[in-house]
Structure formats: C-alpha cells, structure tokens
Structure 1
Amino acid sequence: MPTHALISFQAGETHKNLETCTKIWEWMTNEGFDRKSLIINLGGGVVGDMGGFCAATYKRGIRFINVPTTLLSQVDASVGGKLGIDFQGYKNHIGVFTEPETVVVSDVFLKTLAPEELRSGYAEVLKHGLIANSNYFQSLKIADWESQEWRTIIEKSVSIKRDVVEKDPKESGLRKILNYGHTIGHAFESFYLDGPKHLLHGEAIAAGMIAEAFLSHQKAGLSLEELQAIIDRLKTIFGLILVEEQEIDEIVALCKQDKKNVGSSVRFSLLRKIGACDYDIAVSSEEIKEAITSYRSLV
C-alpha cells in the first residue's frame, strides 16, 4: 500500500468552516504533504466540498479525488468543481472552482444511508427534473420513493448537471439554473442550522423549491396547475417546515447574501414551466417575503 495518512472530522454542515479547514491544513503540513501529494475525499458533500477546498488552496493547489458516499453528493457535488465552506452563518460563502482528478461514484454506498439522508439527496434529483426535463420529473416516484433503480437515477441526474456545467463552467449564465430552490432554501438552511429545527440540505432545498415555485408563478409564467403539482409532490415526500412569522424578515435578509445577487438586487432562477428554468430574475424583498408567507400557509 502506498504511503498514506488519514484524517477524519465530525460529520455535518456545522463543521464545514474555517476552523476545520485550519485543522486539515495543519495536518497536511505536519504530514509533509507536497505539491505532488494526492488527497482522497471519502464521504458526503461536506467532505467533498471541504476536502477539495483544502486541497485546492494548499500550496496553491494539489490533486484530489472525490469518492461521494451519499445520494446528495453523488448527484450534486460530484459534478462541476464547486468547492467551498460556510462563513459566519452564510452557506458556501468562501470557495473556488477546481475540478478533481476524477470522481468515483458507486450506488453501493446508498445502502449505508439513513432514510432521511437518502431523502435529502432526492431533493436534488427532483430539482434536475424541474429545471431541465419534465418527463424525468414525472417519472420519479412519490409513493415508495425509496425503492428505485438508484444507479439509473444517478446516471440521469449526473448527465443533466454535466450538460449544464459543460456549457457554463463558471456560472456566468446557464449554470445558475442549478440554483433553483437554493436562494430561499439556503436561507432556511442557514437560519435553522444551529437550532432545534436543524435541516438537512435536501430538506431545506425542498422547502425552497416550493417557495420559489410561488415566485415562479408570479414572476416567470409557471402555470397554477404546475405550481400545484410541484407543491403536492414535494409536500408528500418532504412534508413542510414550520416557519414562524417573526422569523421571516431574518430569512429574507439571508437571501440577500446569495452568490447570484448583483449589488443589492436579489436574483433568482425560476421555472417558466416544469422542465424549463430562467435565471437572473430580480425579486424584491417584499416578493420574497410573500413567497415564504405562501409557503407558511400550506402548513
């Protein structure tokens, strides 16, 4: 076996920060890693994000391989070279674009996941259908969703994301559609991160997709019928989170830190219809508040 060293850290989004990165960089330094060293990131999206970020910034960048072990990391973080960490409560606020040497994906890892972790990844699968392929979205199970041909689903979702990323690797345009549900979803995730209503990424994004479906109906032409179809499907699989009225203003404020924004203008990716998404749609704070209020009314 080649000479190697192993480091592990506590699981979870709350540890995807500069403090953990500092420990990783210190470990790499103490172990004598040089520019020809190789990092293998074995784990979920947090491991791939942070391990890749540490590798991409150590000595101005060393090679790394990602081996994603969750459905979320396999269909989402495995493609596109986005690496980042959270900073002062803001999701993925510090990061870089750097592709790994390779990505090794195996559906065998899915057998190790708790049901809620598998469901979290399923939110991104549903998103891929919503933004790019209506037939794919309609084919995905609602009832008994856990029993699916996951290898086929992973391949289809990865192909959708890869097609978008290849056309726009640095997110200057088209790639922004992959953020559907994420402006409000990330705000939910950040707001509840350290509290009793802590959300997994997919749970937050599912809520964000419902709220942004309301915005899509208002701002991008999504029909009322398709709006209801999205609500029904996501509500059945993920349920709803209880957002208190007094929490809304702070959640709206978090949306203003989204990376797609231009100056003080909050920009959204919204659905024109199921399977077609537009981007760079300016939305006011009042409209965001109305969308979250509409989400609250479903509870």
Structure 2
Amino acid sequence: MQTIQAINHKILFNDNCYAFLNELLQVNTFSKIFVLVDENTSQYCLPNFLAQLATDVEIEIIELEAGEQFKNIETCAQVWQALIDLGGDRKSIVLNLGGGVITDIGGFIACTFKRGIEFINIPTTLLGMVDAAIGGKNGVDLGVLKNQIGIIREPKAVLVDTSFLDSLPASEMRSGLAEMLKHGLISDKTYWDKFKSLSSLNTEDLNELIHQSVQIKNTIVSEDLTENGIRKALNFGHTLGHAIESYCLENPEKPTLLHGHAVAIGMILESYISKEKGLLSNEEYYEIKYIISEYFDKVDFTKEDINQIIDLLIFDKKNEFGKVQFALLEGIGKIKINEYCDNDLIFKAFEDYK
C-alpha cells in the first residue's frame, strides 16, 4: 500500500513500516527506545514487533493495564516516573504499540515529558489504524469524560501493520468498522457503498478499505489540524456517542461499550437528527440505520438514561459558549458542521432508535 503524506510526517503500511523504522533508528541518535504497550499487546503483538527491529539502542518496555478506564492522568504520572527511573531524557523516543488508548495516552506522555520527546504510533487495532493513531490528537480522560485533557502534536510517523489484526476479537474489529463507516458517510458515498457487501471482501479488500479510510481522515486533518473548521466533520456520531460511552462507563447497570459501538449508536441518532432538520432524506436515513444496525447490537436506554446522557453533552470538547454543537449529514458523503439541536429532538432520536 502506498505511503500517505500527512502534514509533517508519513503514514506507512505493512512491509514499508519496518524499513522506515529501522532506518530512522539508524540515522538518528536516540539515547533510549521506550515501547509502550498494554497487557494485551505485550502478549500478542510485542514479540513480533521486537523481532522486526534492527538497532543497538537500548530498548525498555513499559506495560499498562488494558482499558479505557486507565486512560487518565494517574497512569501518565506512573509512566512519567518510569521514564525517569529508566533513564529517559530528551533524546529518547517512545513507540506506542497498541490500540486507541495506548496511542492517545502514549502521545500525550511523550508530548509532555521533558517538554516533549519524539514518538511514533504503531496501532494494533482497526480503530487505532483508521482513527485514533491518525491526526495528531493526544490526550486522556478526566474521570469518565472523554479526552478532556490533551494536546495536538503530530507523531514522527504512523506505522500501520495490518497483520496485527489477526489477533483481534470480532468486537474490536467492529469497533474500528464504525469509524470506517463514518468516513464514508461524511466524505465519500462510493466508499460508504462498499460496506453494503462487507461479507464478500477478502484480506486484500480489507487492506484497501483501511488505506482509503486513513486517506479520508488524513485529507480532512491536513486542511484543519487544530479543528477550527472542517475537522469537526470527524465528530459525526461522536457528540452523542461520547456521552453514551461515558454514561455506560460509569453506570454499572449498563454494558461497557467499546468506543466504536457507542459511536455507531451516535451515528444512527445523529442521522435521525439530520433527517428531522431537513438535511438528510428519509431513504438515506433508513439505509444508514439498517446497515449500522446489521453490525452493532441495540442497547436499551430508559428516559432517565437519556436525561443523564443529555446532561453529559455539555462537556463535549466541540462546544462553544455553553452550546452543544453537532456535525450532521447533508446527504450521504457530505457534512454540515456547527449545527445546534434541542433536547426534544434528541429524545425523539432515541425513541426512533428504540
């Protein structure tokens, strides 16, 4: 797959990843290499990854517990201390080997340690490959509130090795699929149409879909790195999706949802809102609802659940002057940003979802 040029770094795929990485490690004088993993990537991905490295620089492994609940400042403090204890300095480099939690928190840790050291993202989940590792967003949650603390700074590179997907459970693959569906809905109807017959696709087809998804996100980010305009399009499904994810994370009576599952629900809800605001046709809405529902199980929400989810919307990082802002569909393949929506319409969206 062809290398993609981001603003200040490259996104490389499969065999090209390790040739690039080994050359980088050879021509740069890094004092130490730190590989950040969680307990899952330590077991399933780290051995193969280390076998690809050709360097005399000392390598240290830092392992975190797996899960969104550990993407917080407390974990950062532990890793910062580990970096100091293991001799990390401003000439060190961090290799983030993992899913969205690892690349999000690893980038933030690198950006803030010693006022910033180099880092590379090596996503090991589908969600990480097509979304979390792409675009230069690094950060952590504040309690259950998603991505409240962070910084936008691009990595040295992003290395996408799709062989890591072989170790993923189906639920994690679906989580990444949600972001790929989103990229088609907001930017490319032809790309969206490819997901109508996903069961007939082979590995080569999947690699091509991943490459196209990365290209879509990178094109949008390259126009608006700091999210002052069109990058807000990438938040389609996330305004309600993040609130749903946070609510389920803190409510023991609700299933803990993977990010992609929550976003999938958010996309159905926000597609309904788009329809009700006259931006999306009935036919397009029902097509979106049907296809997403094919891949993601329905979750039941009571009236009290919905009230609490709406209360969480105010913490969405896109909000300005206390108003909740949505990115809504203006037909499949086109987006309209900075749209407002009242609570009654949100309730109607949940009723239709049920």
Quickly name the TM-score band, shorter chain normalised: over 0.9
AA in 1 matched with 2:248 = Y
Does the C-alpha gap of structure 1 residues 143 and 125 become closer, same or farther in structure 2, counting only changes over 3 Å? closer
User: Does the Cα contact within 8 Å between 2:76 and 2:105 map onto a contact in 1?
Assistant: yes
**TM-score (normalised: structure 2):** 0.81
Displacement after TM superposition at 1:284 (Å)? 1.9
Q: Where does residue 173 of structure 1 map in the other structure?
A: 229
Tell me, what secondary structure is at the counterpart of 2:148? Answer: strand
**TM-score (normalised: structure 1):** 0.96
Note the 1:118-133 alignment, pairs <5 A: 118-133=173-188
Does the C-alpha gap of structure 1 residues 254 and 147 become closer, same or farther in structure 2, counting only changes over 3 Å? farther
Does the C-alpha gap of structure 1 residues 142 and 248 become closer, same or farther in structure 2, counting only changes over 3 Å? farther
Displacement after TM superposition at 1:68 (Å)? 0.3
CA distance in 1, matches of 2:134, 2:335: 19
Q: Where does residue 246 of structure 2 map in the other structure?
A: 190
User: Does the Cα contact within 8 Å between 2:314 and 2:324 map onto a contact in 1?
Assistant: yes
- Which segment is superposed worse, 237-246 or 200-209? 237-246
Q: Where does residue 49 of structure 2 map in the other structure?
A: none
Tell me, what secondary structure is at the counterpart of 1:241? Answer: coil
Larger radius of gyration: 2
Unpaired runs of 5+ in structure 1?
none
Q: Where does residue 201 of structure 1 map in the other structure?
A: 259
CA distance in 1, matches of 2:110, 2:344: 41
Select 2:131's aligned residue among 76, 84, 90: 76
AA in 1 matched with 2:313 = C
CA distance in 1, matches of 2:344, 2:196: 35
Does the C-alpha gap of structure 1 residues 244 and 281 become closer, same or farther in structure 2, counting only changes over 3 Å? same
AA in 1 matched with 2:183 = H
Q: Where does residue 217 of structure 1 map in the other structure?
A: 275
CA distance in 2, matches of 1:134, 1:269: 17
Select 1:152's aligned residue among 208, 214, 221: 208
CA distance in 2, matches of 1:200, 1:146: 24
Note the 1:36-185 alignment, pairs <5 A: 36-142=91-197, 144=199, 147=202, 149-185=205-241
CA distance in 2, matches of 1:292, 1:93: 25
Cα deviation 1:100-155 (Å, max 9, x = unaligned)? 10111011011110010001100000000000000110111456278552210111
CA distance in 2, matches of 1:286, 1:146: 41
Q: Where does residue 15 of structure 1 map in the other structure?
A: 70
Q: Does 1:276 pair with 2:334?
A: yes
User: Does the Cα contact within 8 Å between 1:142 and 1:233 map onto a contact in 2?
Assistant: no
Does the C-alpha gap of structure 1 residues 220 and 30 become closer, same or farther in structure 2, counting only changes over 3 Å? farther
Select 1:245's aligned residue among 303, 307, 325: 303
Cα deviation 1:41-89 (Å, max 9, x = unaligned)? 0010100000110000111111001100000000001221001111021
User: Does the Cα contact within 8 Å between 1:265 and 1:283 map onto a contact in 2?
Assistant: no
CA distance in 1, matches of 2:129, 2:167: 14
CA distance in 2, matches of 1:146, 1:58: 43
Does the C-alpha gap of structure 1 residues 147 and 117 become closer, same or farther in structure 2, counting only changes over 3 Å? farther
Tell me, what secondary structure is at the counterpart of 1:140? Answer: helix
Cα deviation 1:237-283 (Å, max 9, x = unaligned)? 11211112221110001111111111121100000000000100011
Displacement after TM superposition at 1:209 (Å)? 0.2
Q: Where does residue 33 of structure 2 map in the other structure?
A: none
**Alignment RMSD:** 1.4
Aligned length: 296
Cα deviation 1:17-36 (Å, max 9, x = unaligned)? 11111111110111121111
Does the C-alpha gap of structure 1 residues 146 and 293 become closer, same or farther in structure 2, counting only changes over 3 Å? farther
CA distance in 2, matches of 1:101, 1:115: 30
CA distance in 1, matches of 2:139, 2:353: 29
User: Does the Cα contact within 8 Å between 2:104 and 2:133 map onto a contact in 1?
Assistant: no
AA in 1 matched with 2:174 = R
Does the C-alpha gap of structure 1 residues 65 and 182 become closer, same or farther in structure 2, counting only changes over 3 Å? same
